[in-house]
Amino acid sequence: MTKTAVGRRLTERELKAWRAFLRAHSSVTRALENELVTAHDLSLPEYSVLVTLVEAPEHRLRMTELADRVLMSRSGLTRLVDRMQSDGMVDRFRCPGDARGMHAVLTDLGLQRLKESTGTHLRGVREHVTVKLTDEELDQLHALMSKLSCCERLAVGAGARVQIENGQDAL
């Protein structure tokens, strides 16, 4: 068992785990998004940007770094920051040391919006996720999830490369 069979269909066990994973993510994520939008008119990615910035030194981060951390493509982040900037939640400044780079910086309004909404979001995470699990299960979850993501380039742009490394089907 567990003989790493390649080229065959999934076992019942694999299939159930995998599908439950997809369902859980969809269900939790949707609930959180809905709550955040209806209560504070903030999308989950927007919230994610705010949190990431507030945790960063000086409340600022390079675009690329920010994109990686909020799990979005660079172009996606560019647009998101565009919108958030025109809503006044972040500003953009050219990097001092590197004229190519841009810093996204949290504004006062951004901080305020974050403070307003963080209660809702954390309550949501607790309600939809952590309350349903014991401490041991939370540790299990962390361990399992870490195994799933640690080996990939997290950067989004790496998609094509991953494909090629995996070989087999590529072009």
Partner DNA sequence: ACAGATTTGTTGCACATGCAAGTATCGGTT
Partner DNA sequence: AACCGATACTTGCATGTGCAACAAATCTGT
Residues of this chain, 106-165, that bind DNA according to CB under 7 A: 156-157, 159-160
- Confirm or reject binding of residue 148 to a copy of itself (CB under 8 A): yes
Question: Are 83 and 66 in contact, with CB atoms under 8 Å apart?
Answer: no
51 binds, among a copy of itself, DNA, none (CB under 5 to 8 A by kind): none
Binding mask 93-132 for a copy of itself (x = CB under 8 A): --------------------------xx-xxxxxxxxxxx
In the range 39-98, which residues lie near DNA by CB under 7 A?
43, 45-46, 62-65, 72-83, 92, 95, 97-98
Which of 125, 153, 147 is CA-nearest to residue 164?
153
Tell me 132's DSSP state: G
Question: Considering beta carbons, is residue 16 or 83 the nearer one to a copy of itself?
Answer: 16
Convert residues 13-42 into a mask of x (bound to DNA by CB under 7 A) and - (unbound): -----------------x---x--------
**Roughly how many angstroms between the first and final C-alpha of the chain, as a whole number?**
33
Distances (CA, A) of 132 to 33, 98, 123, 126, 137: 19, 46, 13, 8, 9
Distance CA 18, CA 101 (A): 39
In the block, tokens 């309550």 appear at: 123
Report the interface residues with DNA, using CB under 7 A: 30, 34, 43, 45-46, 62-65, 72-83, 92, 95, 97-103, 156-157, 159-160
